[in-house]
Chains A and B, each alone.
Chain A
Amino acid sequence: MADATHFEGAHGPKPRRTFSRRNIFLYGTLIMVALYYLLPLYVMLMTSLKGMPEIRVGNIFAPPVEITFEPWVKAWAEACTGLNCDGLSRGFWNSVRITVPSVIVSIAIASVNGYALANWRFKGADVFFTILIFGAFIPYQVMLYPIVILLREMGLYGTLWGLVLVHSVFGMPILTLLFRNYFTSLPEELFKAARVDGAGFWGIYFRIMLPMSLPIFVVAMILQVTGIWNDFLFGVVYTKPEYYPMTVQLNNIVNSVQGVKEYNVNMAATILTGLVPLTIYFVSGRLFVRGIAAGAVKG
């Protein structure tokens, strides 16, 4: 039909050149930015697959002439920190033993807190909550030593459980806020109906709130796993060398080695440390964004 009609002048869609000035500028910039962001990862990967002689001679941007996985093996199983020479695997398992309980405990406490604040408002609750939130802004350094004293009194200083406690305490503000906001957004009628039915505090929590909160739990988990796994300060202050998390061990391996620096091993070690949070990031995609946006937008 349209073909048979004779048009005088411009008709149909505006001619849009794929390579218009605007598109070149737009995509060009974005591609350059993307390359800039990917570059370090690429370089790390390349370096970790080369032998030392090749690194000394070559260009960090060039791919390995001879690919070798030896640096990876060394990083995982043989690198030395202090007296132990069993590689990053030690730090890895420490991190796992720290992260898993910390995530569970911090989320359990914070979700109950958020639930209590959202649905069972009682006098003074908001005051404590405000202190908690302001506490999130206080630099950790101010509270470092008092916590050392507290942990010593409890006999937990230098142990894994001491660190778990610390992470739970410092994760509370943001997570409580996250859960509180989520639970307030749930329809109040559900809660009221349950109370009329005679359910109590814990009953409602386990039978009604929890089942409806899967997304926010996932978001909280992503936030916590990433934050706790990547932590350095608490790891180095509150543990003994045998319990050092991966990040602390990594820093020791790279920065305190005297003599010959094995760059390829260092790079392999660095990638290994970053692997867990990166994997979570790539797998969770949208949820990760939601998590940091929620955690970042306080109040």
Chain B
Amino acid sequence: MTDATQHSVEIKNLDLSFGAVQVLKNLELNIHEGEFLVLLGSSGCGKSTLLNCIAGLLDVTGGQIWIKGKNVTWAEPSDRGIGMVFQSYALYPQMTVEGNMSFGLKNAKIPKDEIRQRVDRAAEVLQIEPLLKRKPSALSGGQRQRVAIGRALVRDVDVFLFDEPLSNLDAKLRADLRVELKQLHHRLENTMIYVTHDQVEAMTLADRIAIMKDGLIQQLAAPDEIYSRPANLYVADFIGSPSMNLIKGQVADGRFTTDGLSVPLGGYEFSREAKGEAWFGIRPEHIVLGDAAASADTSLTITAEVVDPLGSDTLVLTTLAGTRFWIRLDGQTKIKAGDSLTIGINAADASLFDTGDEERL
């Protein structure tokens, strides 16, 4: 049952309930070959649950899971063609690195030479050759995680699953390993499904991101799409630091109007009809200044209330239409609290959301 446009992983109508609590609801997801897909969301959204279902560690309540054209809904994890990397590394503590990587293969009765080959190859890719004879307790966090990846690598599978693998590491190590993971994906070109709550990881690593909330996928798209055209209010608020400024107002006669702000919406790409009340969203970094402000769709003068100098950027807080409004400026800008600032807003950079269903307009 294979065809040319076959997906690497297909999830059809997936339901998962723990007793009376439904965690995943009728989920549909198709993942392409060689894609790096990130499942992003805060705790309890169901992303880890979904990953465990794909892995076969959890039994689904309804629906199907297909991997590489094979229905694996009832298959054991080891028969699904997957490798998995865990948050706590889950290395077998009493075995050496080599032992950890070869235990599963020995169990599958793979010939010794082939095991040797695979282990060496994985060790070379991950640069852990000098560590082969050591035990996990003698390794650093970053090294342990590489070994965990190595254990998945030797399985010679198509799909890799990552369950928040960098969450246990400190910030610097996280950044380093993130880059390595990206390079690994480049080199191996396997399908990778990655769970995290960290939007930086998601934005930098993913080919596509699936933002999840309450067991439903809020938006499935490439990072820049999610960033510039969030599908709903939740996504808009989740991505971006500081988050998008959101102001309530009315859409009428091609304009968005609220207390102290009126924006012509000619440059805005509507995906459906707008009616009445709406949320107007604009990111702090999309506010334009100086000459650009003068030629923007609308411009206004605000008073800086709080100034946060971060070095690379400077954040300015003001009040617009009764709500807190953040503006991001270049770090070199000389500004202090109380100063006046002329800013410009372009409708093309903005996002409008219906106040009723919170979906993008």
Q: Which residues of A contact B (CB under 8 A)?
A: 1-2, 5, 7-15
Contacts and interface: CB of A to CB of B under 8 A. Distances in A.
Top 9 A-B pairs, shortest CB-CB distance: A11-B64, A9-B71, A10-B73, A10-B74, A14-B74, A12-B62, A2-B62, A13-B59, A5-B13
A1 B12 CA distance: 12
Interface in B54-110: 59-64, 71, 73-74
Nearest to A13: B59
B15 interface: yes
Contact of B63 (A2, A8, A14, A15): A2
A10 B26 contact: no
Interface of B: 12-13, 15, 26, 59-64, 71, 73-74
A12 B15 CA distance: 8
A1 B59 CA distance: 20
Nearest to A8: B71
B13 to A, nearest CB: 5
Contacts of B15: 2
Please classify the interface of chain B as helix (H, G, I), strand (E, B), loop, or mixed, using the class held by over half of its residues: strand
Nearest to A15: B74
Contacts, number: 40
Contacts of B12: 5, 7, 11
A10 B66 CA distance: 10
23 contacts: A1-B13, A2-B13, A2-B26, A2-B63, A7-B12, A7-B13, A9-B64, A9-B73, A10-B64, A10-B71, A10-B74, A11-B13, A11-B62, A11-B64, A11-B73, A12-B61, A12-B62, A13-B59, A13-B60, A13-B62, A14-B59, A14-B74, A15-B74
Interface centre among A2, A5, A9, A12 (most CB of B within 10 A): A12
A15 B71 CA distance: 15
A20 to B, nearest CB: 14
Contacts of B62: 2, 11-13
Q: Which of B13, B15, B60 has the most CB of A within 10 A?
A: B13
Contacts of B59: 13-14
B26 A1 contact: yes
A12 to B, nearest CB: 5
A12 B62 CA distance: 4
A12 B63 contact: yes
Contact of A7 (B26, B61, B64, B74): B64
Given A7-B64, A11-B64, A13-B60, 7 more contacts: A2-B62, A2-B63, A7-B13, A9-B71, A10-B71, A11-B12, A14-B74
Contacts of B60: 12-13
Given A2-B15, A8-B71, A13 B61 contact: yes
Q: Which of B12, B26, B62 gathers most chain A CB within 10 Å?
A: B62
A8 B61 CA distance: 16
Nearest to A2: B62
A5 B12 CA distance: 10
A15 B13 CA distance: 18
Contacts of A5: 12-13
Nearest to A16: B59
